[in-house]
Amino acid sequence: MLINIDFGTRTPIYEQIVLEVERLVTKEVLKPGEQIPSIRELALTLSVNPNTIKKAYDILEAKNIIVSKSTKGTFITDNIKKAKNDKIDDLIKKINQDLKELESLGLSKEEIFKKLK
């Protein structure tokens, strides 16, 4: 699993890992049931504090995107539908924010939609 961390941004490293795994899962680059690196492996490859990776994995697990099976390792869950739906909700939210900003510039919804391809 290839994750690139941008050490320059203000987005916390754990959040970058969560976002990247979500992205890879929703695009099915990481397939359901696929094994992902252990906390130790990822910490060593990225040269990052293992607590940071653990925090990211805990969040991903709470979101039902990964499961850790105690001795076998950590895997992508079989059901990634929810991850996909969450991603869709996120994007819709973003679009709504942009819509609001366009409306504040004096455009009506119809005008905006007309301009969209």
- List of residues contacting another protein (CB under 8 A): 7, 9-15, 39-40, 43-45, 47-52, 55
CA distances from 7 to 10, 20, 44, 53 (A): 8, 14, 16, 14
Task: Pick the closer one to another protein by CB: 39 or 112.
Answer: 39
Least Å distance, CB 93 to another protein, is 12
Beta strands in 1-117 (DSSP E): 35-36, 66-69, 73-76
Least Å distance, CB 82 to another protein, is 22
Q: What angle (nearest 5°) sits at the alpha carbon of residue 32, between those of residues 62 and 21?
A: 55
Least Å distance, CB 69 to another protein, is 19
Task: Pick the closer one to another protein by CB: 105 or 116.
Answer: 105
